[in-house]
Amino acid sequence: MAITLYGISNCDTVAKARKWLEGNGYTYTFYDYKKGGADAEKITGWVLEAGLDKVLNKSGTTWKKIPEDLRAILDETSSIALMAEQPSMIKRPILEYDTKGGTGLLVGFKAPEWAVALG
């Protein structure tokens, strides 16, 4: 099974997810979008599958630094562009994995949810 973990290397939640994957015997590719950049097309796919509210990290400091009046007028397209420009605004981690019917997607780290999905 091919697994790709997207995130930022110095993120505590990403570190927990990596430890969980390794502890459960999963091999994966890690993509640090702070170093490699965030692709707007990839983000668009995540938003289409999981929803903007799930992919856009509104609890981080980057989001909170955006003026309230600007946050109020952001739509899906401008939010995706903003996440591509500032990858720390993407919820972490994001996991893509192969399934029998295609590709699965997990946003955020919840060990029980990951165990069921990857089981």
| Token representation of residue 4 | 């790709």
93-99-101 Cα angle (round to 5): 130
Strands of the 94-99 sheet, one edge to the other: 29-32, 3-7, 94-99, 102-107
Place of tokens 């996440």: 83
Active site residue 11: yes
| Token representation of residue 40 | 């707007």
Q: Determine the pLDDT at residue 1.
A: 73
Q: Which residue of the set 5, 11, 43, 107 is catalytic?
A: 11
Mean of pLDDT values over 20-38: 95
Q: Determine the pLDDT at residue 41.
A: 96
Q: Is 96 left (phi over 0), alpha (psi -120 to 50) or beta?
A: beta
Give the pLDDT band (50/70/90) at residue 25.
very high
Q: Determine the pLDDT at residue 102.
A: 81
Q: Please say whether the beta carbons of 18 and 54 come within 8 A.
A: no
In sequence order, what are the beta bridge partners of 7? 32
